[in-house]
Chains A and B, each alone.
Chain A
Amino acid sequence: MPLRDLRSFLADHRAAVWEIDQPVGLRHTLTALQHELDNSGRFPVILAKRPQAADGSPLGNQVVTNLTASRELTAAALGIPDHRQTASWFANRSASGIDPLVVKGADAPVQQLVWEGEQASLQRLPVLTQHQLEPGPYLTAAHATTYDPDTGVDNTAIQRCWVLGERRMTWFPYPTTHNMRNLRKFWARGEPCPVAFWIGHHPAVLLGSQSKLKYPESHWRAAGGVLGEPLRLAPSRLHGDKIMVPADAEIVIEGFAPVDSFHADGPFGEYTGYLGPQVQAPLFEVGCITLRRDAIYHDYGSGLTDMLVPDNMAMEGKLYQMVKAVAPSLINVHVPTEGRRFHAYLQFQNPARGEARDALAAALAYRRVKTVVAVDEDVDIFAPQSVLWAIATRVQWSRDGMIIDGLSGSNLDPSLPEGANTASKMGIDATLPPAPRPGAPRAVPPVATVPPDSIQRARELLAAAGGESWPRA
Chain B
Amino acid sequence: MAQGMKTAAPATAKPGLLRDTPGAAWEKRGNTLWLSCTHCQTWFPVSVALTRPGATPACCPQCHTKLPLA
Q: Which A residues fall within an 8 A CB radius of B?
A: 133-136, 262-264, 266-267, 275-280, 414-420
Contact = CB atoms under 8 A, between A and B. Distances in A.
Contacts of A266: 61
B57 A278 contact: no
B5 interface: no
B7 interface: no
B45 A264 contact: no
A135 B59 contact: yes
B56 A416 contact: no
**Mostly helix, strand, loop or mixed at chain A's interface?**
loop
B22 to A, nearest CB: 8
Contacts of B62: 133, 135
A263 B45 contact: no
Nearest to B63: A135
B45 A414 contact: no
Given A264-B50, A417-B29, 7 more contacts: A262-B56, A277-B32, A278-B44, A279-B47, A280-B50, A280-B55, A417-B31
B58 to A, nearest CB: 5
Contacts of A267: 44-45, 61
Interface residues of B, number: 24
Interface in B11-65: 19-20, 29-33, 35, 42, 44-47, 49-50, 55-62, 64
B19 A279 contact: no
Contacts of B64: 135
Contacts of A263: 56, 59
Contact of B19 (A275, A276, A417, A418): A418
A133 B29 contact: no
A413 B25 CA distance: 18
A167 B50 CA distance: 25
Q: Which 9 A-B pairs have the closest CB atoms?
A: A135-B61, A264-B59, A277-B45, A418-B31, A262-B56, A278-B46, A279-B47, A277-B47, A280-B56
B30 A418 contact: yes
A18 to B, nearest CB: 30
A258 to B, nearest CB: 13
A374 to B, nearest CB: 28
Nearest to B42: A133
Given A133-B61, A264-B59, A279 B31 contact: no
A415 B30 CA distance: 7
Contacts of A133: 42, 44, 61-62
A417 B19 CA distance: 12
14 contacts: A133-B62, A135-B59, A135-B64, A136-B61, A262-B56, A263-B56, A264-B50, A264-B59, A267-B45, A277-B45, A278-B46, A278-B50, A416-B31, A418-B30
Given A134-B61, A418-B29, A277 B46 contact: yes
A209 B46 CA distance: 30
